Chains A and B, each alone.
Chain A
């Protein structure tokens, strides 16, 4: 059992939890993930490590409430316990030696992009962060990004905050304006990572994306998280989750990501009904 030391809502659908997990905090690096189960019968959910405090022995996760599993997790109170919490899994992001990087985050993906930006800044790189959200209400981690970025561009789809539009527009402008990035690191919805990769490919800028496919065990055993990268089958859990964005077959990943859409909608509805019953 893993104690939730702190819990706060970052926006109406996104929650941050600081979890007591000393062994994981000892080793965790940006880009790695944990797998958790909220309760004894819950699904296994992979979540990228959003932060860690080695001294305090805590790991931070940030998640969006989307399905039954994340609803169950979000129902756990501060001081309560997560049933299972295992990690750090996957390979850490390779950030050493980078001098100038554009970090592109989208939606709740910013929770994963932030520790990358933070680590890059610690390593002495020049960091330009471009972060996008659907609207002003959904913005998260703005202060955190500002603190670790040499340049921060805020975007919203509806223009209710920052500039209106998608993240690829300012990214392309910056590249065209002569910003010579060693690498672009994009973390967010698949469709965003796909278009960031298409944009940077035109300019030959190396691009790394963080894939978050359906996963069960997280150790390579099930193969559910497989992706096609450069024509080869790769397992996101052991070979990734970071991959060369110019080689990932995003269209296939998007289709696979929708495998259980009906099931998830049904499970979510069922879980909500269960709660309604409890409330009544």
Chain B
């Protein structure tokens, strides 16, 4: 049946909560396409034979195939295509930076807007969750044990793929709850925790065993897992690690948080829920330092926790913000003030040791640096003070030492990231694979998932060859 193509140059806008309302609640901002919107948007896809969009997807979802099924109103069929490549489609549809990935390669984007691939992915995953009664199939076990360290996006993806192949997978999670950055970092209004939990429950139904409260490197070492505990291979997906600070005076004043701490208090420890026992300062004026997704999340959380004024302080310009375009737009709509080309040089405190402001300098962009972005340089005599009572540092992380310091022979680079061989994630230790932020330094959920996927394939090949 030939379908009528939808030649509208614009993608169907995402229905979302009104900015003035959502700035004060933690409900999901983007509401998702309706059935009709999804089918119409899917009909914008040209079904290109060479599938440029797929080359932009770190987990190589067969995008035209799933979209074609949506266009034909076969939602369950579309879900089967998605879940063949992605363990967490409801998550990716919400948090992937699609504009730099699949949608960035979409042919429709040349003369208009790309197809809303991410929005369609989200629609299909949500539709499946709401309508499907099929229990996930539990694959026949091959009796071989694989350990996954870290129940974040990378580890969960590897766990799902390996479980599907019949491996007995145990995931070791340091915190009391599985999900990694999906539960401690990304806030409820961007990724509802019930959705993460449902994806995790799906993995459990497939036979994946998740052990919380297990800090590998402390409770057990990689060598113990592979020795007395009988795991034949290990995948390390331990995530980004320790928050960085700027090294400027005043960073230990009361009211200076790392974004990790602030987001963990709000999300994992549920400070956003009324009656929560999790302590959090009642901030009025907040500055978030940094320009990535984590900075946007922290700023928007601070607003929702009741702050009157929230600044994003970033040393480059709006054009260089590393955050996803949609997050920046949402933040602006909600009233976050972007102080770009600004860099803090000192946190100022009062007599009680609490933050009362920060001293900043203005920056201008000079020559491009090693990252290809124009290097910010200080503008002479531009010092000024910004009155804030809370400062949240979202300037990246450095790798966690717990695994590398307790795993002899595990090679790491000068930054402390685990060194892997090519795309397979094989480390310098036989049978030990790694991927995600623990290898790359802080990156995105989908890149971590892509690494988990490739490592799962490599682990399967290794174990089949080993016998």
Contact = CB atoms under 8 A, between A and B. Distances in A.
Are A and B physically bound partners?
yes
Given A43-B278, A83-B176, A221-B241, A259 B254 contact: yes
A235 B352 CA distance: 22
A249 B401 CA distance: 24
B245 A223 contact: yes
A220 B401 contact: yes
A255 B400 contact: no
A264 B277 CA distance: 9
A238 B176 contact: no
A256 B257 CA distance: 11
Most B CB within 10 A of own CB, among A89, A220, A252: A220
Q: For chain B, what secondary structure do more than half of its interface residues adopt (helix, strand, loop), or is it mixed?
A: loop
A90 to B, nearest CB: 9
B214 A219 contact: no
Nearest to A254: B353
A75 interface: no
Nearest to A89: B218
B270 A41 contact: yes
A221 B267 CA distance: 14
Q: For chain A, what secondary structure do more than half of its interface residues adopt (helix, strand, loop), or is it mixed?
A: mixed
Contacts of B242: 220-221, 223, 235, 238
Contacts of B277: 41-43, 68-69, 267, 271
B258 A219 contact: no
A84 B269 CA distance: 14
B269 A226 contact: no
A223 B391 CA distance: 14
A37 interface: yes
Contact of A85 (B213, B279, B353): B213
Interface in B205-222: 212-215, 218-220
Contact of B218 (A87, A223, A258): A87
Contacts of B225: none
A256 B245 contact: no
B252 A228 contact: yes
Interface string A26-62: 0100000000010001111000000000000000000
B261 A44 contact: no
Interface string B262-275: 00110001100000
B281 interface: yes
Given A222-B261, A233-B252, A84 B243 contact: no
Contact of B261 (A87, A223, A258, A264): A223
B251 interface: yes
Interface in B158-214: 174-176, 184, 212-214
16 contacts: A27-B218, A27-B219, A37-B176, A43-B277, A44-B269, A85-B213, A86-B174, A216-B264, A219-B402, A220-B241, A221-B239, A226-B252, A233-B252, A238-B402, A255-B353, A258-B254
Interface of A: 23-24, 27, 37, 41-44, 68-69, 83-89, 216-224, 226-228, 233, 235, 238, 249, 252, 255-256, 258-260, 263-264, 267, 271
Q: Which 6 A-B pairs have the closest CB atoms?
A: A255-B353, A260-B279, A223-B258, A222-B261, A86-B213, A223-B243
